[in-house]
Amino acid sequence: MSLRLNDIAPDFHADTTQGPIQFHEWIGDSWAILFSHPKDFTPVCTTELGYMAKLAPEFQKRNCKVIGLSIDPVESHLKWEKDIEETQGYAVNYPMIGDPDLAVAKLYDMLPAEEPGTSEGRTAMTNQAVRSVFIVGPDKKIKLNLTYPMTTGRNFYEILRVLDSMQLTARHRVATPVNWNNGDEVIIVPAVSDAEAKEKYPEGWKTIKPYLRIIPQPASI
């Protein structure tokens, strides 16, 4: 069965470039991003992992851990990290899971269930489903699930933007509108009555429609 939002993220044990982990234990009380790539030593993936290394401190500020995955073994990841630092200017500063038996890829529905049991003989082109992103909350539930095509590198600023929105809306009864960025106006959710809104937002709000009430972003994410 495919994973859906608010499903418990499947737990697993895996070897990584920073040692073995138990996924739920590794997450702890943090948010987490699990992102996968088709294959080591490929061009789009090299740019992606370098850029994620650049942005990793931003995720850390938001109490969000980052972990990568491909079906290559850990030894391959460690060799590839040198190329990433050389070509992208940033050393990989987060663990990468080695998944040569496809166990985690299958657990997270990144590959068809009938896929062969090992990564031997596979190429980037036979791994088209494996460019996925999962954001997992401290409650171990899946908050976001995205899958990108082979030829399209991910926009990690968009993933950071979504994380900001989810953390904000988890603390306040608001939603974020189209193209929202941290600091922009937000929407009072319809479940909050006008009477309750007057208590929460005594300075008032801008009413576009009864179901569309706009306020400045609450002071902190």
Distance CA 177, CA 75 (A): 44
Q: What single-letter amino acid sits at 142?
A: I
Q: What is the CA radius of gyration of the chain?
A: 20
Q: What single-letter amino acid sits at 163?
A: L
Asked if 66 and 48 touch (Cβ cutoff 8 Å), the reply is no
The one catalytic residue in 27, 34, 44, 45 is 45
Q: What are 12's two structure tokens?
A: 């697993």
Q: What single-letter amino acid sits at 157?
A: Y
Distance CA 1, CA 50 (A): 32
Q: How many CA atoms lie within 13 A of 83 on its CB side?
A: 15
The angle that helices 43-61 and 74-88 make with each other, rounded to 10 degrees, is 90
Q: What are 8's two structure tokens?
A: 């418990």
Closest CA to 197 of 184, 212, 182: 212
Closest CA to 138 of 110, 166, 107, 96: 166
Active site residue 45: yes
- Which residues are known catalytic residues? 45
